[in-house]
Structure 1
Amino acid sequence: MQSTHTKLSELPATAICGNDISSSCLYVSALSILYAGQYAWISLLLVGGTLYLFRKIYGEVVGALPLNGGAYNVLLNSANKSMASLAACLTILSYVATSVISANEAIHYAALFSEAIPIIAGTIGLLLLFFLLNLLGLKESSKAAVIIFIFHLTTLVVLCLVCGWYVFRNGLGNFSVNFSTESEHSISFQLFAGFAAAMLGISGFESSANYVEEQADGVFPKTLRNMWIIVTIFNPLIALLALSIMPISEANQHQQSLLAFMGERAGGQWLSWMVSADAVLVLSGAVLTSFIGVSGLMKRMTLDRIFPQFLLKENKRKAPYFILLLFFLLCVAILLSTAGELTTLAGVYTISFLAVMGLFGIGNLLLKLRRKRLPRPERATTGTVLLALTAVGVALWGNVVLNPSYLWVFFEYFIPTFLIALMMMDRSLILKGLLSVILYLFKPLKRSIERFTHWTNQTIKSINDQEFVFFSKGDDIASLNQVMIYIQDNEETNRLRIVTVENEHFKAPGHLHRDIETLDRAYPEIDITYEKIVGNFDPELIKELSDKWGIPTNFMFIGSPSQKFQYRIEDLGGVRLII
């Protein structure tokens, strides 16, 4: 079941995620110089190498499962809902922190032009602006992202050229002095600390996977390539230019606005203003990326019944307005609760992002192990995945060592978020517990309790009466048992329909009917029915059966298709893999 709306081409798709990752140029070089000193550019090159490894990892996973959701999607199709929800919660926290911090920093830069701008009110206003822009739909949002992206790259190119000319005219005296400066730490520690800090410079790389369904065919790997090129060229180059223009101590004094200071030193006030204006725009672009990324992720989670179904409602421009409003309100609530002091959010931002990258690598390994037959356009070697996971682990460890408070702040935000997700996954159990408490506390109110009991039981029944479908190719009883275990552990249902599609090329084996009867006796809590259908297993048949039975396609399961299967997984309208 294919969507009919126009999908994003390479430039707008890259611009949406590129604004997020390229906004790191504003701070990551200064951050790396603070920890790595004269070796900052080497740390930044190591980050570029790590990102190159993740290009293959993301390319394999999303190529095999090109559905919105990023790490959540791959873990849902290779592990279970609990682990997928863990990844989703980390991703949502990362987007919230990114959105609030970026909006706040954008307003701080804007205040350089006019001190009359109120920081808190301005931050809320910027968040509101992008909430309203997203209500206009992805197409309109992408136009704004492209304008910001082009201006940002132009500013970076102009800044590097002017700084390069300044170094050419004034020589490499500063670089020589900086290179010979001794540090109280060893070179290995400087590189380690600089690498850990600089890994924040690739935040946003995961965003493209969260709206892959909105991208035209073949665009996703190009967005990964383009983001990698930007990070690998500009971040080390800016660090080298900074070390060539000023002493390390001076760079550390201007850490909050290093690029604007470099522009003023090398080109004058006009270039400093240009960099500051660019900072306002590209940080705003990172807010836009957060709204787009989180809407794609939460929409997918709602389709899988983790969140309430009313969140799926869309306006005429296909914008999920309840999801966007919920994200906006959450960002405003966190901003107000911190009173604009967002240093605590840095820990949430850092650990969440790195954990999501790590879970994507783990998802890649699980996909190799459990979905070997699933076709994919490219493959990352196991060694590549393990090396990338090691790099992420080093970065996580490094950030905790450098900023121990980050870990505790992260858990303060993560634990409630994950508990809410777990509660949403077990709504039937919670409703039953709530019913027991109500019956105990309000026995005198028998009539009201009876009405509530009826409503609760009907709600539980409507949840459990949702029928699921598994398309069997004549699987043996062991494989079918894996299906039953997955259904029992991950879905709230008491009805499963096992379907075999027969034609002149395939007939169901005779033992299949007997095996299903055996499973029906083994799982008395689930009503299993078996049905043979004559036809060809293709997207049209899936849509026809979905409409006929009233069963959404994301409640239909298949085993991993082989290389000979003529359709890609995204062609099947959201059908999920469970064996």
Structure 2
Amino acid sequence: MATRRPSILPSYPLDDMGTDTVRDTDSWIAIEPVARSTNAATVSADPPSFRESQFDIILRRQRARPRDGGGLKHALTTSSRFLNLSSDFEFAGWGSFSTLKLTSEDHAIGEDRLQDLRRARMLGEFTGAALPGNAVLGSVFYALPAVVTVCGVYSPISLFAATLTPFLWRPIMEELASALPISGAPYSYILNVSRKSLALLGAALLLLDFASTSVVSAATVASYLGGEVALPFPEFAGAALVLLVFALVSLTGLKESARIAFGLLVFHVATMVALALAACVHWGRAGNSQLRANWAAGQAPTSAGVARQLFNGFCLGMLGLTGIECAPSYIGRIKPGRFPRVLRNLHLPAIVLNTLMVTLVLATVPLETVLRGANVLSVLAEMAAGRWLRTWIVVDAAVVLCGGVLTGILSACELFTQLAHDRIVPQAFLRILPLSGAPYVSVFAFTAINAVLYTSAGASLAIVSKMFSLMWLTVMSLFPLALLLLRFNRGRMPRQGNTPLSAIVLALALTPVVFAGNVAIDPSTGGYFAAYLIGVLGVFAVTQNKVGVLRGVYWAYDQYPGLHCWAWGAALVRVMARLKRQPVCILVKTDEINHLLHMLLYVRENEETSCVKIVHFCDAEAGIPSELEANAKILDEAFPEITIDLIVVHGAFAPPQVVALAHRLQIPPALMFMSCPGPQFAHPIAEFGTRIISL
């Protein structure tokens, strides 16, 4: 393969007619800033000749140009914005054309990595549901008291209506999962169907949602225990201890963590069944007197008041479903065809558990007792069967809410892995422990985020819970949005299911209504939501636009000559050049120049790179498209800031070959882009690991 040219060019002299004098050379680069002065010495040799680039087709077109009106591709024609750096800094060098034949070693590596990917999908319908199930079914400990506080005796109606809403979301999530069964959703969904900037918004919301899941679960554990016994330490210390312990548990790896989560969930379900049976027996013995008393005491004076309480209860009742959004985050680990069952196993128990428990509470516990304390289920347990059952409920609350902490950590690790593959966060997030395969950098980073979130909220469970409800609602709105974008931008993509458009629009319209309802209950909620979201988005904006930030820093440095004594400029230029030399790959099937142009425009707008490799897989029968080389050369001239290499690979376009090529070129599959496959596409999209960037 041809060697790519360096990303930085020096200034070079002009001939008598004012055009660039270009001489043949094999090596040239200017790292030091070039002073804009007529007496400045040339700091290095000139760029390669036009003949060396072999742009024969472009040459025929350029011969007709006037000598002073056109010319060779050499650099940007506009003046540099930097005082001491030539405009040639923007020139990435000439591209090249080469053919490549993958070796048997490449094919073996491709097959091995593909088998590893397939073996990673080891979660079934129950173990896959266990991870988010602890968050979904454990939310009864904090969602039920919140709903009763604003809804009173109408809570069963509101909670039942709220838990029915996933019937809108389930077909949407299933259709998305069948089209793109890759982890990190809904961030990964939006990344494949829209712009990267919108996907980063989804990533920021997801990260905050996962952090809120862990922090709220840990803080609720400490609060629940603090309401039952005298803790030897403050509640915030207990929450911090829970976060730390389960961060260490997550280092055992996803498979072992899923088994632990499944054990916790089984214990919780058994506890809830025992509580429901005991409460039903007590209700049968005591009769309906307490229920009638609560109904009389909690009646709203007007029909408008009833409607208001029902709506507020419906809005807060959504907290009873928090955790269901975590399931698609690691769908790449769930066995094929099991995801719809995972959603079913999460949803149906949530309907029964939330509605049944709030009904039993109102039928057994005086309303003033319910409104006075948060540990309503433990109060119900003591009234139904005695102190022993109350102790059991407290233990269960601690156990299942700790499972919610684990859910947030593992979901965040999957998201960090996707972000690292897409070069949004450092590659260190891909490091794993040799024995368990756990991404320890992601675990520790997420634990630090949890600590910052909890500390900045003043260790207040109320504040974090306020943000949690809005984060969850916003994340849920990303699923119908992603499906709309998929149908519009990637309509050819093969998938199962056909969710009615009216259901998608209804789900998308429902979230802002519930969002506004939660803000109306407590307007300060919107402030916390905005503050945390802006903070995370700011970090992602910097990590996604590293070169742009460094250019701004260099420009500021360039304006003050007094700073040049520290020689920071050369170091900044080297860092910018190194970051932009990280290559990406475009997998193309045809030679249509408009298609190639649109893919290049996507790369220029969404990726920080000056090196693009256009790859075409060619079998012996089809041959190379006739205009592919010519069009690649034209585009290489049209984008002086990008080196465009054309590589023709001998072989069929299939997952093993693409993975082998990724290894050969040392480009992650996540940075290999392709157009949308059609309904007759023979291979699973998830096995390629590539990003879809065009229709």
Fold shared by both chains (TM-score > 0.5): yes
Q: Which residue of 2 aligns with 1:100?
A: 215
Q: In the alignment, which of 151, 158, 164 is matched to residue 36 of structure 1? A: 151
Alignment check: 8 A CA contact 1:555 1:576 kept:
no
Retained in 2: the 8 A contact 1:346–1:406?
no
Q: Supply the AA of the counterpart residue of 1:265.
A: M
1:84 maps to 199
Q: Distance in 2 between matches of 1:347 and 1:310?
A: 33
Tell me if structure 2 keeps the 8 A contact 1:554–1:576: no
Specify which of 469, 493, 509 is matched with residue 390 of structure 1: 509
Residues 474 and 508 in structure 1, CA contact (< 8 A), matched pair in contact too: no
Deviation digits for residues 459-484 of structure 1 (CA, Å, limit 9, x no counterpart):
22222112222121216333322212
Q: 1:356 pairs with 452, 458, 475, which one?
A: 475
The CA deviation at 1:490 is 0.2
Query: 1:376 pairs with 485, 488, 495, which one?
Result: 495
The equivalent residue for 2:8 is: none
Query: How many residues are treated as equivalent by the alignment?
Result: 575
Deviation, structure 1 residue 508: 4.9
Query: Among residues 677, 681, 694, which one is paired with 1:561 in the alignment?
Result: 677
Distance change (3 Å), C-alpha of 1:115 and 1:444? closer
Q: Does 1:275 align with 2:393?
A: yes
Residue 253 (1) aligns with residue 372 (2): yes
Q: Whole-Å Cα distance in 1 between the matches of residues 277 and 157 of structure 2?
A: 21
Partner of 1:314: 432
Pair 1:200 & 2:319 matched? yes
Matched, 1:162 2:278: yes
Code of the aligned partner of 2:318: M
> 1:417 and 2:513 equivalent?
no
User: Aligned partners of 1:527 and 1:576: how far apart in 2?
Assistant: 22
What percentage of aligned pairs have identical amino acids? 29
1:364-397, CA deviations, whole angstroms, 9 ceiling, x for partnerless residues? 1101111111112333221111111222222101
Whether 1:431 and 2:547 are equivalent positions in the alignment is no
Q: Secondary structure at the match of 1:486?
A: helix
Equivalent residue number for residue 524 of structure 2 = 405
How far the C-alpha of 1:556 sits from its partner, in A, is 0.7
Counterpart residue identity of residue 9, structure 1: G
Select which of 180, 183, 199 maps to 2:300. Answer: 183
Question: 1:502 deviation in Å?
Answer: 2.6
For residue 575 of structure 1, report the CA deviation from its aligned partner. Answer: 4.4
Which runs of 5 or more structure 1 residues have no equivalent in the other structure?
A: none
Q: Is contact 1:196–1:399 with CA below 8 Å preserved after alignment? A: yes
Shift of 1:171: 2.1
Looking at structure 1, the residues matched to 169 and 121 of structure 2 have their Cα atoms a distance apart, in angstroms, of 28
Letter in 2 for 1:35: V
Distance 2:494 2:120 in 1: 26
Where in structure 2 are the equivalents of 1:117-156 lying within 5 Å? 117-156=233-272
Which secondary structure state, in structure 2, belongs to the residue aligned with residue 305 of structure 1?
coil
What is the CA-CA distance between 1:175 and the residue it aligns to?
3.0
DSSP 3-state at the match of 2:614:
strand
The one-character-per-residue Cα deviations of 1:139-190 (angstroms, maximum 9, x if unpaired) are: 2222221121111111111111111112222222333444455304433222
Alignment match of 2:612 (pick from 483, 486, 496): 496
Query: Residue 421 of structure 2 aligns with which residue?
Result: 303
The equivalent residue for 1:551 is 667
CA RMSD of aligned residues (A): 2.1
Per-residue Cα deviation, 1:325-368 (whole angstroms, up to 9, x for no partner)? 11112222333344422322223212111111112221111011
Which of 450, 456, 459 is the matching residue for 2:572? 456
Q: 2:69 aligns to what?
A: none
Matched, 1:71 2:203: no
Instruction: Give the drift of 1:261.
Output: 1.0
CA distance in 2, matches of 1:339, 1:31: 21
Pick the aligned partner of 2:463 from 338, 341, 344: 344
Amino acid at match of 2:654: D
Measure, in 2, the Cα distance between the counterparts of 1:533 and 1:444.
49
Q: Which residue in 1 is equivalent to 2:287?
A: 171
Could you tell me which residue of structure 1 aligns to residue 224 of structure 2? Answer: 109
CA contact (8 A) 1:2 1:573 kept: no
Q: Is the 8 A contact 1:473 1:508 kept in 2?
A: no
**Counterparts of 1:468 and 1:282, CA distance in 2:** 44
* Equivalent position amino acid for 1:52 in 2: F
Bigger CA radius of gyration: 2
**Bigger Cα displacement from structure 2, 77-86 vs 464-473:** 464-473
Deviation at 1:38?
Answer: 2.8
Residue aligned with 1:195, SS: helix
1:45 aligns with 2:160: yes
The CA distance in 1 between the partners of 2:299 and 2:462, in whole Å, is: 30
Q: What secondary structure is seen at the aligned counterpart in 1 of 2:649?
A: strand
Structure 2 letter corresponding to 1:86: L
Comparing 80-89 with 329-338, greater Cα deviation is found at: 329-338
**What residue is the counterpart of 2:689 in the other structure?**
573
Give distance in 2, aligned partners of 1:539 and 1:115.
Answer: 56
CA separation in 1, counterparts of 2:688 and 2:527?
43
From the two aligned structures, give the one with the greater helix fraction.
1
Residue 539 (structure 1) aligned with residue 655 (structure 2): yes
In structure 2, what is the Cα distance between the partners aligned to 1:37 and 1:338?
28
1-structure distance, mates of 2:153, 2:193: 43
Kindly indicate whether the alpha-carbon contact (under 8 Å) linking 1:50 and 1:391 is maintained by their aligned counterparts in 2. no
